[in-house]
């Protein structure tokens, strides 16, 4: 029963993610309102039939801004996970396969990066580099690759002892070919799970940095910036805070559901 | 045992050195001249030069690094650009508030997580299990910078039960602790479930049942006790997440801790203070991890011989 219910969770996760991606892509065609159009006389107006999520402090449609914010969140998630996983695979693969001194040096670098609570290092990096979307992506990728590298290193250490790898070596296959064709593919399933959960983490971290004023800068809509902006109007217009946060929580939950479901599918013992 | 302790402590030294190096590098990652960035574009060149000298930025890089390490070891983290006070003094003033919040949020997390995880494990495969774990996953997904304001709307504004910000009384602590503790509770509940499930499958639990020990007693006095060992480690390892989460929670609830000091210092480009806060949090994290490792070595002798 658990498995059935859990696969239901994974399906729910997939549906949530698909809907948000569709909404983010189709945002400009879905709504008659532009995210930048201001209707100052009706600023802070609550939800109506015309504006489902209401208007913000400048009279802009919150639904349009939430959908555009989804673009920012998904984009950050995809780039951070993409860069982190590629770098992590390369570093972890080389470190695990060659071992020796190289592995030790890479291991120490990873130990130092792991010694920082992840978000703290991201905050520190963005604080000195300056608040911007690019710096957020950079900071999250700098802390992100370590998790992938550790995972891939572990998988590679196991896989390089497999007989088919020894056979490939005996047949004269060169190291890059062995790594890319025989060793790294064994790490792909757990990597996929980590990447899915990593999307949730990256989206949440971007929103947190933007909330602190260190990420996406206005007027570009970001869920974190919108939640922060809404705090001033918490008493008279709570919808400014509620809707972007709700979307953020739902999307993160969607990726977490999906990641958990994938993990169950890969490792049925859990 | 002593050899294990010494080995673990020595292993932490290069990590601490790496942490210090990274924190030292931060000010050099500032695009352009850090002294100019701190004073703003309109500052007089002689003032900028003076600040550069005060920060030691006019020295060769290696000499700056050596000075930074020497001072850091003696607890001298420089002077705050904004207030002119020693960074260490200002940070130490904020430590009690952050520790209070961190401990309170961990208590909240444990109080929620352990019963939830135990119920899920005991009722494995039922709707109760799935509901508990869905709740746990939702807890991880809800950002604390959203939950905090929502809790404030309901409990402070609408019901008027609790103060919305500040520090001093127990009532002030409730909302920040819940807002920070919920995500941790979610992680711990999942771990409690997994850890207890492992123990419930062990032979000694079945043997206890065969000897006539009741189901609840076999869970409470046998399985749960043993599943606590890995849980203690996870609770300690989550301390880092609590410290980072505190940065956001303190900002929301105007809690006068290190996290709020860090964010305020970023706003003022007070880089010595930013470096000091980051170094202190990272060193605390390394120390807690080390203490956890040592504790684990005491609790589980197998670890010492690995």
* Mean pLDDT over the full length of chain B: 87
List, for residues A178-194, the tens digit of each pLDDT value: 888 888 888 888 899 99
Q: Is the pLDDT of residue A153 over 60?
A: yes
The backbone torsions φ and ψ at residue B163, rounded to the nearest 5 degrees and listed phi first, read -70, 150
CB atoms within 10 A of CB B3: 8
Q: Kindly state the average pLDDT of the residues B77-97.
A: 91
Min CA distance, A175 vs chain B (Å)?
32
Query: What is the pLDDT, as a whole number, of residue B177?
Result: 95
Instruction: Check if the beta carbon of residue A190 is closer than 8 Å to that of residue A151.
Output: yes
Q: Which residues of A touch B267 (CB under 8 A)?
A: 213
* For residue B229, pLDDT beyond 80: no
Q: Which residues on chain A are in Cβ contact (under 8 Å) with B126?
A: 1
At residue A1 the predicted structure's pLDDT band, cuts being 50, 70 and 90, is very low
Size of interface A-B (CB pairs under 8 A): 142
Residues B55-65 have a mean pLDDT of 87
pLDDT tens profile B140-177: 899 999 999 999 889 988 898 998 888 888 889 999 99
Inter-chain residue contact B243 with A119, CB threshold 8 Å = no
Pick from B129, B252, B285: CB nearest A117: B285
Tell me the chain B residues in contact with residue A1 when contact means C-beta distances shorter than 8 Å. 125-127
Determine, for residues B247 and A211 on separate chains, whether the beta-carbon distance falls below 8 Å. no
Dump pLDDT digits (tens) for B21-36.
Answer: 999 998 888 887 888 8
CA B274-B279-B280 angle, to 5 degrees, is 100
What pLDDT is attached to residue A4? 54
Q: How far is CA A184 from CA A166, A187, B86, B134, in A?
A: 15, 5, 51, 33
Instruction: Tell me how crowded residue A117 is: count the other CB atoms within 10 A of its CB.
Output: 25
**pLDDT score of B293:** 80
The pLDDT of residue A146 is above 80? yes
Position A34 confidence tier, pLDDT thresholds 50, 70, 90: confident
- Judging contacts by C-beta atoms under 8 Å, the chain A residues touching residue B240 are 117, 120
Per-residue confidence band for A266, with pLDDT thresholds at 50, 70 and 90: confident
Q: Judge whether residue B51 has pLDDT over 80.
A: yes
Q: Which residues contact B241 (CB under 8 A, 6 or more apart)?
A: A117, B183, B184, B187
User: What is the pLDDT, as a whole number, of residue B303?
Assistant: 64
Read off the pLDDT of residues B172-204 as tens digits, 9 standing for 90 and up.
999 999 999 998 899 899 889 988 888 888 888
Of residues B118 and B303, more confidently modeled? B118
Instruction: Give the pLDDT score at A224.
Output: 93
Contacts with B83 (C-beta within 8 Å, 6 or more apart), sequence order: B90
- The answer to whether the Cβ–Cβ distance between B127 and A256 falls below 8 Å is no
Per-residue pLDDT, averaged over B221-240, amounts to 80
What is the average pLDDT across B67-76?
91
pLDDT at A3 over 60: no
Task: Give how far A61 is from chain B: nearest CA, Å.
Answer: 20
Q: What is the ipTM of this complex?
A: 0.86
Task: Check residue A258 and give its pLDDT.
Answer: 92
Task: Give contacts of B156 with chain A, Cβ < 8 Å.
Answer: none
Cβ contact, residue pair A109, B19, below 8 Å: no
pLDDT in tens, B95-148: 999 999 999 999 999 999 999 999 999 898 888 998 888 888 888 899 999 999
How far apart are the CA of A249 and the nearest CA of chain B, in angstroms? 5
For residue range A217-262, what is the model confidence (pLDDT) as tens digits? Answer: 888 889 999 999 988 888 888 899 999 999 999 999 999 999 988 8
**Residue A136 tokens, joined:** 């957020």
| Average of per-residue pLDDT across A171-176 | 86
- Whether residue A5 is predicted with pLDDT greater than 80 in this model: the reply is no
How far apart CA B180 and CA B186 sit, in angstroms, is 11
d(CA B117, CA B34): 49
pLDDT at A269 over 60: no
């Amino acid at each position: 029963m658990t498995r059935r219910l859990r696969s239901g969770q994974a399906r729910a996760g997939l549906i949530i993610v698909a809907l948000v991606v569709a909404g983010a892509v189709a945002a400009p065609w879905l709504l008659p309102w532009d995210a930048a159009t201001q209707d100052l006389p009706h600023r802070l107006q609550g939800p109506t039939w015309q504006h489902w999520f209401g208007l913000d402090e400048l009279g802009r449609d919150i639904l349009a801004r939430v959908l555009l914010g989804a673009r920012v969140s998904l984009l950050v998630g995809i780039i951070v996970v993409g860069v982190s996983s590629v770098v992590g695979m390369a570093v972890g693969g080389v470190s695990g396969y060659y071992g020796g001194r190289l592995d030790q040096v890479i291991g120490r670098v990873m130990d130092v990066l792991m010694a920082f609570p992840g978000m703290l290092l991201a905050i520190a990096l963005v604080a000195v580099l300056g608040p911007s979307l690019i710096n957020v992506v950079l900071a999250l990728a700098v802390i992100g690759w370590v998790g992938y590298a550790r995972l891939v290193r572990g998988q590679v250490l196991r896989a390089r002892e497999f007989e088919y790898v020894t056979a490939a070596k005996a047949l004269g296959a060169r190291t890059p070919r062995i790594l890319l064709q025989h060793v790294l593919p064994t790490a792909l399933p757990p990597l996929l799970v980590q990447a899915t959960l990593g999307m949730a983490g990256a989206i949440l971290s971007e929103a947190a940095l933007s909330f602190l004023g260190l990420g996406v800068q206005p007027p570009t809509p970001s869920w974190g910036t919108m939640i922060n902006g809404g705090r001033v109007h918490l008493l008279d217009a709570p919808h400014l805070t509620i809707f972007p946060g709700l979307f953020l929580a739902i999307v993160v939950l969607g990726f977490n559901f999906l990641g958990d479901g994938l993990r169950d599918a890969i490792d049925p013992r859990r | 045992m002593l050899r294990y302790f010494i080995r673990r402590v020595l292993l932490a030294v290069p990590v601490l050195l790496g942490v210090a190096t990274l924190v030292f590098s931060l000010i050099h990652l500032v695009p352009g001249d850090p002294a100019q960035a701190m004073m703003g574009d309109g500052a007089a060149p002689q003032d900028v030069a003076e600040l550069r000298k005060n920060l030691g930025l006019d020295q060769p890089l290696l000499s700056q690094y050596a000075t930074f390490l020497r001072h850091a070891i003696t607890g001298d983290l420089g002077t705050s650009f904004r207030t002119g006070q020693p960074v260490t003094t200002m940070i130490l003033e904020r430590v009690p508030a952050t520790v209070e919040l961190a401990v309170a949020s961990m208590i909240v997390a444990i109080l929620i997580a352990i019963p939830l995880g135990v119920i899920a494990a005991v009722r494995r495969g039922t709707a109760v299990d799935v509901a508990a774990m869905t709740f746990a996953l939702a807890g991880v997904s809800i950002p604390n910078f959203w939950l905090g304001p929502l809790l404030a709307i309901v409990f402070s504004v609408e019901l008027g039960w609790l103060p919305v910000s500040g520090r001093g009384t127990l009532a002030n602590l409730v909302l920040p602790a819940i807002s920070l503790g919920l995500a941790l509770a979610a992680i711990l509940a999942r771990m409690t479930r997994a850890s207890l499930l492992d123990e419930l499958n062990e032979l000694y639990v079945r043997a206890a049942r065969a000897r006539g020990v009741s189901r609840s007693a076999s869970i409470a006095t046998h399985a749960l006790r043993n599943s606590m060992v890995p849980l203690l480690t996870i609770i300690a390892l989550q301390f880092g997440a609590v410290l980072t989460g505190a940065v956001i929670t303190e900002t929301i609830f105007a809690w006068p801790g290190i996290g709020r000091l860090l964010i305020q210092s970023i706003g003022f480009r007070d880089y010595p203070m930013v470096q000091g806060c980051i170094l202190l949090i990272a060193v605390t994290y390394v120390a807690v991890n080390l203490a956890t490792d040592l504790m684990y070595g005491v609790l589980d002798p197998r670890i010492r011989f690995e």
